[in-house]
Amino acid sequence: MIHRLMIWIQLFALALLLSSNASARGTGDLGVIIERATGSVQVVETSTNSSLGRIEGLGDLSHASVVYSRDEQYAYVFGRDGGLTKIDIINKKIVKRVLQSGNSIGGAISQDGRLVAVSNYKPGGVKIFDAETLELVADIPARYGSGDQLSKVIGLVDAPGQKFVFSLWDAGEIWVADLSDVSKPQITKFKNIGKNPYDGLITPDGRYYIAGLFGEDGMALLDLWNMDAGVKRILDGYGKGEQKLPVFKMPHLEGWAIAGRFAFVPAVGHHEVLVIDTDSWTEAGRIKVHGQPVFVMARPDGRNVWVNFAVPDNDTLQVIDTQSLKTIKTLIPGKGVLHMEFEPRGEQVWASVRDEDRVAVFDTDSFEQLTTFKARKPSGIFFTSRAHRTGL
């Protein structure tokens, strides 16, 4: 009798397990689309190119960005209003939301996935939160000069060794924060790197941090493997002798492209994409494009580079062949193309078409539009594959 009861208990437990597994869902093909006008995000999947639902109540998402937990279930959304929101994309709900500043501009997640950092305009600095609880664990004010001034912080990225790297717009500095001991952050400061660094990026291997300079033509390069060498200027004076156009939208360096030994970055105030030889960090060429580039993004295999543009040319996408360094395709998805995101293996690319309230999905070989679906003033698109890439 006892033996039979034990068998029934085991069968019941197995049935529960099978039922649970049947309703479980993986996260590898998921992502979110920022709906900037309504403070919401759509949860989407790339297997069927469809929307799975919407999460509301995320505040001002006019310049929002997203990072993911290591298990890809949780997304951390950085809002312009200083809001940091942790959302569960499987269950489509807000886990926790904190207003951590008056004005923020992005964030990053640490190498081990335990810390979330937010870069702030007001008050200037970086705040570090526990990724599980969103409790504040460290505060790094961006003081400069005599110490009574706070700089806007931009270009915040994660780096190997439990580090965060960021730039100070007002101070013209790059800081490296080592959070190996979160109770005692170790800050290394590099001063006089150039005027008004406007964004920053880190190479996929986590070695080089580059800050673009808005106040002058050039970029600042920091080798994180050899920090004693200091910051090096690269592409100095790339616009010398040319008339710079008014800048209608700041380029986004975190959407840069690496293909083989070359990096492709947007030129500030010019209708050009700059090509950099990453062996020597010198200019290897320039590619004339349709307008002022905003995002310059490489397909995951590096075969081509896709570019979108600031107004008045923001209805257009151009595709650059990375072997010939020539534009091979011009597409007109619609008015207000703000962001692109490649599916993890690069066979398709999604583009937000803000002014038409939709997202368009293209085949990256044929360049044909495969599908489109509605979204409320969409901007950033972020797939969970970012969880396992440095600097994203």
Please state, as a whole number, how many other Cβ atoms lie within 10 Å of the Cβ of residue 99: 13
Contacts of 369 (CB under 8 A, 6+ apart): 333, 360, 361, 362
pLDDT at 34 over 60: yes
Task: Report residue 14: phi and psi, to 5°.
Answer: -65, -40
Q: What is the mean pLDDT of the chain?
A: 90
Retrieve residue 129's tokens: 């939160």
pTM as predicted: 0.91
Give yes or no for a cis peptide into 123 (omega within 30° of 0).
yes
Task: Report residue 355: phi and psi, to 5°.
Answer: -75, -5
pLDDT at 350 over 90: yes
Return the percentage of the chain with pLDDT > 90, whole number: 78
Residue 71 contacts residue 43 (beta carbons within 8 Å): no
Closest by Cα among 230, 329, 318, 194 to 266: 318
Q: At 104, which amino acid appears? A: S
pLDDT value at residue 2: 58
Residue 366 contacts residue 47 (beta carbons within 8 Å): no
pLDDT at 243 over 80: no
pLDDT at 349 over 50: yes
pLDDT at 57 over 90: yes
Alpha-carbon gap, residue 28 to 219, rounded angstroms: 35
pLDDT value at residue 144: 95
The gap from C-alpha 85 to its chain's centroid, in whole angstroms, comes to: 16
pLDDT at 24 over 90: no
pLDDT value at residue 259: 82
Q: Which of the four pLDDT bands, split at 50, 70 and 90, describes residue 21?
A: very low
Retrieve residue 174's tokens: 């790059």
pLDDT at 245 over 50: no
Task: Report residue 16: phi and psi, to 5°.
Answer: -65, -40
pLDDT at 303 over 70: yes
| Across 299-323, average pLDDT | 95
Alpha-carbon gap, residue 293 to 295, rounded angstroms: 6
* HEC string for the chain: CHHHHHHHHHHHHHHHHHHHHHHCCCCCCEEEEEECCCCEEEEEECCCCEEEEEECCCCCCCCCEEEECCCCCEEEEECCCCEEEEEECCCCEEEEEEECCCEEEEEEECCCCCEEEEEEEECCEEEEEECCCCCEEEEEECEECCCCEECCEEEEEEECCCEEEEEECCCCEEEEEECCCCCCCEEEEECCCCCCEEEEEECCCCCEEEEEECCCCCEEEEECCCHHHCEEEECCCCCCCCCCCCCCCCCCHHHCEEECCEEEEECCCCCEEEEEECCCCEEEEEEECCCCEEEEEECCCCCEEEEEECCCCCCCEEEEECCCCEEEEEECCCCCEEEEEECCCCCEEEEEEHHHCEEEEEECCCCCEEEEEECCCEEEEEEHHHHHCCCC
